[in-house]
Amino acid sequence: MGVQSAMGRALVLLLGLALIGVWAQQSGPRPPFTIGVSNGFIGSEWRVQMLDDMRVVNEAYKQQGLTRDLVIQSANVDVAGQINQIRNLVLRRVNGIIINPNSQSGLNAAIRDAVRAGVRVVSVDQEVSAPEAINVTIDQKEWAKISMRWLAETLGGKGNIVIINGIAGHPANEARYEGVKEVLAQYPGIQVLNVSNADWDQAKGQEVMSRLIASYPNIDGVWSQDGMAEGALRALLAANLPRLPVMAGEARAGYLRLWAEAKRRYPDFKSFGVCNPPGVGASGLKVMVRLLQGKTLKAGVLQGPFKNTIYVPIPCQVSDATLGEALRQIQGKPDTYVLDGIITDEQADAYFR
């Protein structure tokens, strides 16, 4: 009787373990996955291209039976508004949320609540400090350092420059400006005459640059973030200056075409652009799908100040030497098009075990 009881208890235990194993396999979401997108800023064509890239990649996943239509919440909102976007997506019972964040830390509580509700969260384009989230972005600080180093070296380490930043307080803007300041610390011969914000808006970039030209007649160099450099260059050309300052610009079609025009008028004009790929949103989508499939990131993949970031490659740089090739790449594209890059499936797989 004792032996039978022991065997019975063992059988019950084995059955229980088997049920636990089945439950563990079934506890995660199963495809097709529903993925939400929270985009809190629509004042930039870059964001439009980002969302378009995400839709294209998601369409391929839909054909494989891996995802449904993206649930996109996109509007100009403050941090509180983006928190509401995230909460709304959780209520829509999405399996994952991809966020382009308006704040580095202001969304942390909403991200934590989403993850506790069983929703995976990936932040793209900019890093958030929430430990529950995984960031998928280029290294924004390094992005800025590349062009600032070029500007400093092209000026021979000395001269007067102006800086046109994006939205003050925005995570990407702050990371970029930190990179700029780190480079400038190595070049004491460069004097910064003025630092202004033009909110990643071409019209504001032109307005700010016009004001700077009027205030500072001795500008040797301009460092501008993307989304504003075309406006700044238009202001410089409209001023009919005897010479143009050296300019760190952008890898956007409109700027590249204006760069070529500027060189026809000013053959000695020098410029440079670093690609900031809108495809980072689609790269984040590729990472999200693999996370929802239950795949685990390799040790050492997560980097950055918060140790929760996958840095995807900066896909290209444009110099005077490569401007012709860049112009060929943008043939037939609108001026708002940005030279782009999305990680391949092989690159995405390489982040995981």
Question: Could you tell me how far CA 3 lies from the centroid of its own chain?
Answer: 65
Last residue of a domain, one of 274, 304, 327: 274
Last residue of a domain, one of 223, 245, 274: 274
CA distance 257 to 328: 11
In the prediction, which pLDDT does 26 show?
42
134 lies in the same domain as 54: yes
Nearest to 248 by CA among 322, 178, 317: 317
Rg of the chain on CA atoms, in Å: 24
In a domain, 228, yes or no: yes
252 lies in the same domain as 163: yes
In a domain, 28, yes or no: no
Contact 127, 76 (CB under 8 A): no
In the prediction, which pLDDT does 43 show?
82
150 lies in the same domain as 183: yes
Contacts of 218 (CB under 8 A, 6+ apart): 160
Structure tokens at 288: 């999200």
Contact 155, 190 (CB under 8 A): yes
In a domain, 288, yes or no: yes
For the domain that residue 127 is a member of, what is the CATH number? Answer: 3.40.50.2300
In the prediction, which pLDDT does 44 show?
85
201 lies in the same domain as 262: yes
Structure tokens at 273: 């652009």
**For the chain, what is the domain count?**
2
Distance from the first to the final alpha carbon of the chain:
49
54 lies in the same domain as 111: yes
In a domain, 245, yes or no: yes
144 lies in the same domain as 62: no
Amino acid identity of residue 54, one-letter, is: M
In a domain, 26, yes or no: no
In a domain, 48, yes or no: yes
In a domain, 244, yes or no: yes
Across the 353 residues of the chain, what is the mean pLDDT of every consecutive 10-residue run? 40 35 54 97 92 98 98 97 98 98 96 98 97 98 98 98 95 96 98 97 97 97 96 98 97 98 98 98 98 98 97 98 98 97 98 98
In a domain, 149, yes or no: yes
243 lies in the same domain as 181: yes
125 lies in the same domain as 152: no
pTM: 0.89
108 lies in the same domain as 127: yes
Its domain, for residue 59, covers 35-138+278-312
200 lies in the same domain as 262: yes
103 lies in the same domain as 71: yes
246 lies in the same domain as 292: no
